[in-house]
Structure 1
């Protein structure tokens, strides 16, 4: 199981703890370092489409109009923290966020 996020994200930390407490072995994948490649992003974007972008984030609000209108891949390659967090992947199963629906899948 891989959890994609950033170490300073409270929601990512809560998800990591809950998953570990539930007995899952979780690999944490920092979105910032090492940088995610287009090949890394492709299956995640294919699964969630434009919904993978967090349009409520301060990073989103600071983007130029041109960048806001670009494809999710271009946005995430330039600003990986635009991704809604956490994204959890286990084999072919993926969830985005840590709401009740995501928790029901993993816990």
Structure 2
């Protein structure tokens, strides 16, 4: 399968010390993709961007309930998340609770998390 690494604008959103982000960045580099990295710990993330991702993937997918950040939140915070607006509010306060990485191409969110087969299929 021939991949198309010549996208004009590809951004990978995440945090640099996340193992899943590291795997995705390595895969992209090894397959010739030149993606800009957006560290949302340093550069932040907007409610608008989170809402865009939620429309594409669903808020339940964007909010990482399997990670240590989610598990470290108090039960009152966890129980307050019932829909997209409440999930976005929590992710804005605790951006490590965002599932990562998110890959955008030409301003459109295409991928979330990392799965080599999925990346190859979507980015061909």
Q: Do the two structures share a fold, i.e. TM-score over 0.5?
A: yes
Which residue of structure 1 aligns with residue 73 of structure 2? 63
Q: What's the C-alpha RMSD, in Å, of the aligned pairs?
A: 1.7
**Alignment partner of 2:21 out of 3, 12, 37:** 12
Separation in structure 1 between the aligned mates of residue 99 and residue 52 of structure 2, nearest angstrom: 15
Which residue of structure 2 aligns with residue 87 of structure 1? 102
Pairing 1:104–2:107 present = no
TM-score, reference length from structure 1: 0.87
Contiguous gaps of at least 5 residues in structure 2: 1-9
TM-score, reference length from structure 2: 0.76
Which residue of structure 2 aligns with residue 23 of structure 1? 32
Separation in structure 1 between the aligned mates of residue 103 and residue 94 of structure 2, nearest angstrom: 19
Q: How many residue pairs align between the two structures?
A: 107
Residues 56 and 109 in structure 2, CA contact (< 8 A), matched pair in contact too: no
Which residue of structure 2 aligns with residue 52 of structure 1? 62
User: Which protein is bigger by CA-based radius of gyration?
Assistant: 2
C-alpha displacement of 1:106: 2.7
SS of the counterpart of 1:24? coil
Runs of 4+ aligned structure 1 residues displaced above 3 Å come to none
